[in-house]
Homo-oligomer: A and B are copies of this chain.
Amino acid sequence: MNVPPSTVARLPRYMRALEDLAERGEQQTSSGELAELVGVQAAQLRRDLSYLGSHGVRGVGYDVQNLLSQVMGALGLTHDRAVVIVGLGNLGHALANYVQAYVVDGGPGFRVAALVDADPAVIGTEVAGLVVEDAAHLEDVVAREGATIAVLATPRDVAQEVCDRLVAAGVRGILSFAPRALQVPEGVDVRSVDLASELQILAFHDRRRP
C-alpha cells in the first residue's frame, strides 16, 4: 500500500471534510460531494482513495464513518504521538496554545509532550498547561517522552543545530517555522512553513498591479 506524497498531502483535507459530514449526521457520501467540499476533482479524489484500498460501493458511494476510519488509519492517527515544541518566543508560544487547543483537543493522533526553550526568562514558565523546560536537556526530554515529532520555532541561527539534536535524539518528523533550509539524514521528514516566502509567492501573483 504505497501512497504518493501528493496524495498524502491531501488526506488531511479529506479527513476534515469527512469529519464535517459526520458532524452533520451524513452517513453516506460520494466522490462528487466530497471533492466539492475539499476543492479537488472527483476523479482525483477517487484515485487518491484507491491507494488506500477500495472502500466505496459502486453506484452508491462511500460510508462516511468507514471512510473516515480508513483515512485516519492511513495517516497513522490510531495512537497518540508525542510532540515536542522547541522555541517559545512570540510565535512558538502561540503555536503551543494553538496545537493544544485545535490539534490535540480537535482529534486523536497527537499529544503535546513537552515545551523547550533556551531563554532563562522563559524556562519554568507555564504555557498551554505545561512548564517550559531547559533546552540544555533537549535530548533527555525527547527520550523521556518518546517524541517522534517536533515543532521547531527557534530563531533562524540555531535552527540547524536544534534540528540536528532533535534527530540525534530520535525525532523523525519536524515542522519548522525557521526560514532556513534544514539538512536532515535520510528517513527524517521536514515540513517547512515560511511566512515571508508565502507572502512573497502571493506578491508574485499580484506583481502586475501598481
Contacts and interface: CB of A to CB of B under 8 A. Distances in A.
Chain A contact surface mostly: helix
Given A94-B91, A199-B149, A206 B172 contact: yes
Contacts of A8: 201, 204-205
Instruction: Tell which of A9, A76, A189 has the most Cβ of chain B within 10 Å.
Output: A76
Interface in A166-210: 172-175, 179-181, 183, 189, 191, 193-207, 209
A191 to B, nearest CB: 5
B206 A75 contact: no
A130 interface: no
A172 B206 CA distance: 7
Contact of A76 (B93, B97, B207): B207
Interface in A77-124: 77, 81, 83, 90-91, 93-95, 97-99, 102-103, 106-107, 109-110
Nearest to A8: B204
B196 A75 contact: no
Interface in A41-71: none
A21 interface: no
Nearest to A7: B204
A83 B209 CA distance: 14
A12 interface: yes
A38 to B, nearest CB: 6
Given A197-B12, A199-B149, A172 B75 contact: no
A16 interface: yes
Interface in A155-172: 172
Contact of A204 (B38, B75, B90, B194): B75
Q: Top 4 A-B pairs ranked by shortest CB distance? A: A76-B207, A173-B202, A94-B94, A12-B197
Interface of A: 3, 8-9, 11-13, 15-17, 37-39, 74-77, 81, 83, 90-91, 93-95, 97-99, 102-103, 106-107, 109-110, 148-149, 172-175, 179-181, 183, 189, 191, 193-207, 209
